[in-house]
Structure formats: structure tokens, C-alpha cells
Amino acid sequence: MRFASREWIDALVTALNAQPDLAAALEGLGRDGALVVEADPPAWPHTVAAWAEQRCGRIARYRLLADEDEILELEPAYVVRAPYRVYRSLLRGGDPLQAALSGRVKVEGNLEALVRRSSYRHVMDAALAVVPTVLP
């Protein structure tokens, strides 16, 4: 499945919701968040944005956004954004904490709360391990 496609996001949410530690990883975080994969031509010609809402320790609602500007209307607790090449690096095993602290990944929201949850990286890693991902 192509990274950040609707099909890929559906599969990732299903895989995340199947992780037993997801509720603990989400505990104390805001209600929702957005992810922005910024255009990075020629490999990634257009910006892609997605939004998700958590409830009771699960991802309850999510959607691919038609336009990145929808984030302004949704006012999520967190917005995580980076160029495609940074996400590609993270999907290939790069350290997300280091990427955020170095500024390669921009985080709007409580970065300290996310850093405190870095021990839950295995939740995302396990979900990504079962989702076939094709990177352009």
C-alpha cells in the first residue's frame, strides 16, 4: 500500500487499535491530532494531511483531509509535520524523538508530553510492521 494513501491510513489505524498498549500510550494526550506530510518533489509532489481523534484509548475517528488548511478549522491538540523525506527516514528506522528534538519534525502542541511517551514507540513500530508500505 502506498504510504499515506487512504488504504494505508485505514490499515494503520486498524493495526494501531489492535495494539494492547495503545490506551496507555494515548493516556493524558489531547483529544485529537493531525499529521502533515509536506510536499518534497519529485518523490512527493503534494502535501498530504490526516486527522485523528482518540476516545477511550482507541482511535475513534480519522480522515484524510482534502486540504491542509482544514487543520486550522479542526484545531487539533497536536500537529506533527515534516517533509516526505523525513517520514521516509523514520519509516526506515530513524529515531522520531531525535527528529523532533532536532527540528526536522515540527510539533505543535505539548512536545514534553510526547517525549514522556517515547517508551511507547513499540506501539507504532508494531503497527507499522504489519502494514505493507510502499514508499515512492
43-95, pLDDT tens digit by residue? 999 999 999 999 999 999 999 999 999 999 999 999 999 999 999 999 999 99
> What CATH number should be reported for the domain whose range is 6-129?
3.30.1050.10
User: What pLDDT does residue 72 have?
Assistant: 96
d(CA 96, CA 90): 6
Question: Could you tell me the pTM of the whole model?
Answer: 0.94
Residue 105 C-alpha from the chain's centroid: 11
Give the 3-state DSSP-derived string for 34-91, with helices as H, strands as E and coil as C.
EEEEECECCCECCCEEEEEEEECCEEEEEEEECCCCHHHHHCCCEEEEEEHHHHHHHH
Provide the pLDDT for residue 115: 86
CB neighbour list of residue 75: distance below 8 Å, 6 or more residues apart: none
Q: Which residues contact 5 (CB under 8 A, 6 or more apart)?
A: none
- Residue ranges of the domains in the chain? 6-129
Phi first, then psi: what are they for 103, rounded to 5°?
Answer: 90, 0
Q: Is 118 exposed, middle or buried (0-12, 13-18, 19+ CB in 10 A)?
A: exposed
User: Which pLDDT score is estimated for 103?
Assistant: 95
